[in-house]
Amino acid sequence: MGKSTGFMEFGRENNATVEPMHRIQNFNEFHSPLNMTERREQAARCMNCGVPFCQSAMKLNGMVSGCPLHNLIPEWNDELYNGHFEHALNRLLKTNNFPEFTGRVCPALCEAACTCGLNDKPVTVHDNELAIIEYGFANGCMEPKPPMLRTGKKVAVIGSGPSGLACADMLNKRGHNVTVFEREDRPGGLLMYGIPNMKLDKSVVLRRIRLMEKEGVEFRTGCNVGQDISAKDLMSEYNAVVLCCGASQPRDLNIEGRELSGVHFAVDFLKSTTKALLNGEYESGNYINAKDKNVIVIGGGDTGNDCVGTCMRHGSKSVTQLEMMPKRPDERTPDNAWPQWPRVCKTDYGQQEAAAVFGHDPRVYQTTVKRLIGNEQGELKAAELIKLEPKKDEASGRTIMTPVDGSEYTVDCDMLLIAAGFTGAQKYVTEAFGVELNARTNVATEPEKYKASAEKVFTAGDMHRGQSLVVWAISEGRACAREVDEYLMRYTNMI
């Protein structure tokens, strides 16, 4: 513990944030870091608890609290406070392959479990982590370190999202020859095309990809395994295959008017904007453009919020975000005590921006779309909404959201974005490798294991656990790599 009284001397100070009306003028990241003196003061607030819940990842009341990667948070906060930046970096990289990703997009399960947050504001673990890794990149600490010896074993990783990258990184460091196959034109998976630039600038993703390439990982883009490349060929060429293709089957709507033009899946909407930015074609407007349109976003999660933020940068006429569930409380309730994950209402960056522009929160709770209304040209022009109320299902005992008779009303709508989550892995991949699926249409494995039903086939990430967080994907990729290594070598020295 670097400073025993730090949590009493220093208050929490977050990274500075560009005001909403200014940041919506571009797609730049909008948080600026503290200087290193201020950052060390924030690290001094870490209490080095006897039981550091921040790194525990314990399941409490149905939700995980603490870091799934078991980051050694008190250790690297101590090193950071004492100015031992390279030591802090070494401790951070021991458990997390990509702190530059989690330091930007993770919702900070660690901070929710921080003991300092019990009676005060939690330690800025999220921002400290980002400061450490960016120091590493800026000061020549993140140089390529290819393995000194190769095992001669070949591994194919299908999908280059966070789980695929983590698995590939671990296996390459072990000395295996790793090839990552990505169906898109650029590697990164959801890091590249599922998360907008203002949350995760794509130069950050490409910086890591280039480092991995220099360390020996091969990336093959534009390769759609199961269509462009057969599973049979991969199985014959590689000693192991890891499926990290994500839960990329979006949940659709089964309502009247679904076929109208102007209805899009959120992932297609976000991807089109990112591609236009990367290709220098944004000013052309030749993408799924929400400019001057009345937009409805279905879904209240992170992806829905990203859609709202992107619409604000496009210049939408109006944005409404529909949430089926009731609004969560603004403060913890007695049955949701620390160190549980706080089930409270969170207002994210996109909602803040919409409120700044339109004067009100874009979210409408306990509401869904009943039907869509178009013109003679088949273009979406309006949506009929209906209110919902919670009712207990007698058969299952579960509470379900039920339409309220007579509560329908119609609003203008030129674009509808479906951000209602994902239903599981895409069938053409799972069928190509002949792997069994579980009831949630994810690739089936034994509990806490990553070996699929087909010989020498493994899986990790959302394709294995279902739609989840980047930090969980990295955790799964690391754990899967250990299992693959043991399969290939009959033992493993991975930690």
Residue with tokens 């209805």: 263
Amino acid 255 reads I
Q: Is the pLDDT of residue 69 over 90?
A: yes
Mean pLDDT confidence for 135-160 = 98
Q: Is the pLDDT of residue 112 over 90?
A: yes
What Rg, from alpha-carbon coordinates, does the chain have?
23
**Closest by Cα among 468, 369, 460, 453 to 415:** 369
Question: pLDDT tens digit string along 79-107?
Answer: 999 999 999 999 999 999 999 999 999 99
pLDDT at 119: 87
Mean pLDDT confidence for 219-244 = 96
Does 154-248+423-489 match 258-420 in CATH topology?
yes
Choosing among 2.40.128.520, 3.40.50.920, 3.30.1300.10, 1.10.1060.10, the CATH entry for 6-138 is 1.10.1060.10
Contact 113, 66 (CB under 8 A): yes
Which fold would CATH assign to domain 154-248+423-489?
Answer: FAD/NAD(P)-binding domain (3.50.50)
pTM of the complete model: 0.96
Question: pLDDT tens digit string along 291-346?
Answer: 999 999 999 999 999 999 999 999 999 999 999 999 999 999 999 999 999 999 99
Question: pLDDT tens digit string along 343-376?
Answer: 999 999 999 999 999 999 999 999 999 999 999 9
Contact 369, 324 (CB under 8 A): no
The torsion angles phi and psi of 107, rounded to 5 degrees, stand at -75, 5
Task: Confirm or reject CATH 3.20.190.10 for domain 258-420, answering yes or no.
Answer: no
**Closest by Cα among 99, 34, 100, 42 to 71:** 99
Q: How confident is the model at residue 397 (pLDDT cuts 50, 70, 90)?
A: confident
Q: Where are the domains of the chain?
A: 6-138, 154-248+423-489, 258-420
Contact 450, 494 (CB under 8 A): no
Q: How confident is the model at residue 468 (pLDDT cuts 50, 70, 90)?
A: very high
Amino acid 220 reads R
Query: Distance (Å, rounded) from C-alpha 95 to C-alpha 88?
Result: 12
Specify which of 77-86, 110-119, 331-340, 390-399 reaches the highest per-range mean pLDDT: 77-86
Residue with tokens 């220098």: 280
Q: Is the pLDDT of residue 403 over 80?
A: yes
pLDDT at 248: 86
Amino acid 27 reads F
Determine the 3-state secondary structure of 365 from DSSP.
Answer: strand
**Closest by Cα among 321, 314, 311, 313 to 345:** 321
Question: pLDDT tens digit string along 10-40?
Answer: 999 999 999 999 999 999 999 999 999 999 9
Contact 462, 468 (CB under 8 A): yes
Strand pairing report for 294-298 and 154-158: unpaired
Q: How confident is the model at residue 185 (pLDDT cuts 50, 70, 90)?
A: very high
Sign of CA dihedral 78, 84, 89, 95: negative
Instruction: Enumerate residues 6+ apart whose C-beta is below 8 A from 95.
Output: 69, 70, 71, 72
Question: pLDDT tens digit string along 411-455?
Answer: 999 999 999 998 888 899 999 999 999 998 999 999 999 999 999
Question: What is the phi-psi region of residue 378: left when phi exceeds 0, alpha when psi lies from -120 to 50, beta otherwise?
Answer: left
pLDDT at 395: 83
Amino acid 338 reads W
Strand pairing report for 457-459 and 240-243: parallel
DSSP-assigned states of every residue in 11-22: ---PPEE--HHH
Question: pLDDT tens digit string along 251-290?
Answer: 999 999 999 999 999 999 999 999 999 999 999 999 999 9
Question: pLDDT tens digit string along 475-488?
Answer: 999 999 999 999 99
Q: Is the pLDDT of residue 1 over 70?
A: no
pLDDT at 393: 85
The torsion angles phi and psi of 52, rounded to 5 degrees, stand at -80, 90
Mean pLDDT confidence for 457-466 = 97
Q: How confident is the model at residue 162 (pLDDT cuts 50, 70, 90)?
A: very high
What's the mean pLDDT when you consider all of the chain? Answer: 96
